[in-house]
Amino acid sequence: MKKILLCLLFIPLVSIGQVKKMDSKAEEVGVAKNFGVEIAKLSKVAGEPDYYFFTYNNLKYDIITDVDSFGFKDIDGAFDYLYNGIVDVYKNKSKAVEFELADGMLSVQHQMGAVRFYFINKAGVDSWTGYMTKKQMATLFGKKYNKADFKK
């Protein structure tokens, strides 16, 4: 009986010891907010190459809170290429521009002076962010907003 009691006391100690808290290596690049509500957040994990990932509330669902993300490695200046591509969407008022990522396809959709991310992962599941203004997009990418950058 003592052995059974001893085992019952020992099992919780073993299971607690298996869980370790790890420090995140991701640093926040920027956050796009609208009236204090987070639209999207861009984070960076330093490395060779750096890895950037966006997290956002998926607005595909009205009732369910669904947080989604996509990311990419900064190979051959991919970070600046993506930012400049998004700035071009604002400048040219293009309907949509697509970028192929390792995780799936990212479409940057323009509507009435704002853009949103529409992401379709490799499994075919789609998700999208809220619309972001030029200033919110610059903040998201950790850049200082300059009105001239977004004009033709």
Q: Which of 5-9, 62-66, 105-109 comes out lowest in average pLDDT? A: 5-9
**For 57-86, how does the pLDDT look when each residue is reduced to its tens digit (9 = 90+)?**
988 877 777 889 999 999 999 999 999 999
84-101 pLDDT, tens digit per residue, is 999 999 998 888 899 999
Q: Taking a C-beta distance cutoff of 8 angstroms, is the pair 44, 26 a contact?
A: yes
Omega within 30 of 0 (cis) for the link into 12:
no
User: What's the rounded Cα separation, in Å, for the pair 97 and 85?
Assistant: 8
Q: What is the pTM of this model?
A: 0.80
Confidence of residue 144 (pLDDT cuts 50, 70, 90): very high
Cα(64)–Cα(71) distance, integer angstroms: 23
Domain spans in the chain, listed from the N-terminal domain onward: 22-150
Statement: 22-150 belongs to CATH 3.40.190: no
